[in-house]
Structure 1
Amino acid sequence: MSPVEHVGLCHLSAPAGGSRRLNGHLARPTGPGPRPGVVVVHEALGVDDVMLRQVQRLARAGYLALMPDLFTQGGVRRCLVPTMRAALSGTGRAYQDIEAARAYLAALPDCTGAVGVIGFCMGGSFALITAGRGGFQAASANYGMLPKDLDALAGACPVVASYGGRDRALQGAAARLRTSLDRLGVVHDVHEYPQAGHSFLNDAEVGPRPLRPLFRVMGMGPDPEAAADAWQRIETFFATHLSTPHTEKAES
């Protein structure tokens, strides 16, 4: 497993209107660089061992992977609701925090300057919205709610997205996203796995133990078969769209 470093990001987030306290979790690939970077945006339950293993997985795939803890300033109880609102509205300090993580990666000496973003659950919504705002060269949105205004994705970077057919809260989301990206001319790979539910990319159940039986009834939880295929698509997509060094690196 790639070790996870804890880094401070508030020197980049606070001046831009983001969190005054912001921690990040960084995993580096082994071997010589430079490497592309990937900002990892966590689920609504926050940073946990499952999310940290996603960071490590991306490092093993050859990326400098950094997960900003969007709940650093106040914890899950105080931050969850406003952060969820930001994920759906497109406004809020979480966007400055995600940009701070991108800028941190792009400035690392062993980064090519090309940076992608990947999000899970709540983070999938952030990945979609930030895809349309410039800065990132590729985005992976996994079972994230769609932006209210899908036209805001006009001019977005290439998007790879994965949804579960048994995810009751996101029925039809994959088809709507695919149709919109087709219409807008955005390069994409959108797929729905009929047998999978929400959070199917996780390698273990998450959340409070008393609620896990309810989550199972709701179709939430790991699906190894769907996850293996989705990860292959994500890694192939990122390898294609993050392989070229980004010019911002030379300008920074």
Structure 2
Amino acid sequence: MRHCLFGLLMVASLTANAAVQTQEIPYTAADGTQMKGYFAYDDAIDGPRPGIVVVHEWWGLNDYAKRRARDLAELGYSALAIDMYGEGKNTEHPKDAMAFMQTALKDADAARNRFVAGLDLLKAQPQTDTAKLGAIGYCFGGKVVLDMARQGVPLEGVVSFHGALATQTRAVPGSIKARVLVEHGSEDSMISTDDIAALNVEMVKAGADYQFVNLPGAKHGFSNPAADTHQKDGLDVAYQKAADERSWADMQRFFEQTFGTAQTTAAQ
């Protein structure tokens, strides 16, 4: 009896000590730009598990993007919040964010190379199952992950949250290998109805496995609790708890179906 009790206490102790581990990892893009990644995984899980890249909003690699990496780790994924601006740059000022974003997107090949450098870093982690890879992105990051799907980057699934939808390089039949989920706010004034219609036509013509979810009453930035603080800057953004929770639940189901896994822990 004493030995059984000791064993139970040991298991309880190990479980209590198990937690999401995080690490900042420097890496280099193909153009020589120094990047910073934020890696998160649950050390209670043995062996490799599906890996998901997180692409930040136009604000840069900030605490919100890092939090989403931790949320994914809690769900049982190997998650890396990547750096699309270089040197971990981030800002709270819309003018700076716009400048960072425009610079990052002006060269489509450079943007792809920066994403792929982050994806390669995620694949290099021993916790990552390199046969099961996905990506999620917010705002600017939503556009990035959609563009990576359009370009046929080897991913099984991508999810865009309140992402920009327009692109200069549309998908063609057979180019999209990943399943695609778009979580969009019905009251997002930053995305035109023409952009939505064009995306739908593009995805259908490309033969993509594609879902578009219109979240009632949600504005741009609906998933980020800090969105309301930017209303003072004249931005039509707002956090909406219902849309945040609905879109996160949609994402969980999407990746469970995509990877053929069953995650049991929810994170919000």
Question: What TM-score comes out, normalization by structure 2 length?
Answer: 0.77
Q: Are residue 233 (structure 1) and residue 233 (structure 2) matched?
A: no
1:34 — aligned with what? 48
1:2 — aligned with what? 20
1:117 — aligned with what? 135
> What is the alpha-carbon distance in structure 1 between the residues aligned to residue 27 and residue 238 of structure 2?
31
One-letter identity of the residue aligned with 1:100: A
> What is the alpha-carbon distance in structure 1 between the residues aligned to residue 70 and residue 219 of structure 2?
23
Are the aligned partners of 1:71 and 1:80 in contact in 2 as well (CA < 8 Å)?
A: no
Which stretch shows the higher mean deviation, 113-122 or 146-155?
146-155
One-letter identity of the residue aligned with 2:80: L
Which stretch shows the higher mean deviation, 188-197 or 104-113?
104-113
> What is the alpha-carbon distance in structure 1 between the residues aligned to residue 126 and residue 227 of structure 2?
36
Structure 1 residues 4 and 221 mapped into 2: Cα distance closer, same or farther (>3 Å)? farther
2:111 — aligned with what? 94
Which stretch shows the higher mean deviation, 93-102 or 183-192?
93-102
1:249 — aligned with what? none
Shift of 1:74: 8.2
> What is the alpha-carbon distance in structure 2 between the residues aligned to residue 74 and residue 104 of structure 1?
15
Shift of 1:222: 1.3
Q: Secondary structure of 2:137's match?
A: strand
Shift of 1:214: 4.5
The C-alpha deviation readout for 1:141-192, integer Å capped at 9, x for no partner, is 1222221343358521111111111111103244432332122210011111
> What is the alpha-carbon distance in structure 2 between the residues aligned to residue 188 and residue 18 of structure 1?
35
Q: Secondary structure of 2:184's match?
A: strand
Q: Are residue 132 (structure 1) and residue 150 (structure 2) matched?
A: yes
Are the aligned partners of 1:7 and 1:25 in contact in 2 as well (CA < 8 Å)?
A: yes
Shift of 1:203: 3.0
Q: Are residue 162 (structure 1) and residue 212 (structure 2) matched?
A: no
One-letter identity of the residue aligned with 2:136: I
One-letter identity of the residue aligned with 1:224: K
| Gap regions ≥5 residues in structure 1 | 245-252
Counterparts of residues 48-127 of structure 1 (less than 5 Å): 48-73=62-87, 75-76=89-90, 81=99, 83-87=101-105, 91-113=108-130, 114-127=132-145
Percent identity, please.
Answer: 24
Shift of 1:64: 0.8
> What is the alpha-carbon distance in structure 2 between the residues aligned to residue 166 and residue 79 of structure 1?
22
> What is the alpha-carbon distance in structure 2 between the residues aligned to residue 50 and residue 81 of structure 1?
20
Aligned-residue Cα RMSD (Å) equals: 2.5
Larger radius of gyration: 2
Are the aligned partners of 2:150 and 2:170 in contact in 1 as well (CA < 8 Å)?
A: no
One-letter identity of the residue aligned with 1:22: M
Shift of 1:41: 0.5
1:177 — aligned with what? 199
Q: Secondary structure of 1:151's match?
A: coil
The C-alpha deviation readout for 1:190-236, integer Å capped at 9, x for no partner, is 11113000111113337xx5x433557x2x12111111111111111
Shift of 1:126: 0.5
Are the aligned partners of 2:173 and 2:205 in contact in 1 as well (CA < 8 Å)?
A: no
> What is the alpha-carbon distance in structure 1 between the residues aligned to residue 27 and residue 246 of structure 2?
33
Q: Secondary structure of 2:64's match?
A: helix
| Gap regions ≥5 residues in structure 2 | 1-18, 262-268
Q: Secondary structure of 1:22's match?
A: strand
Shift of 1:91: 1.2
Shift of 1:90: 5.8
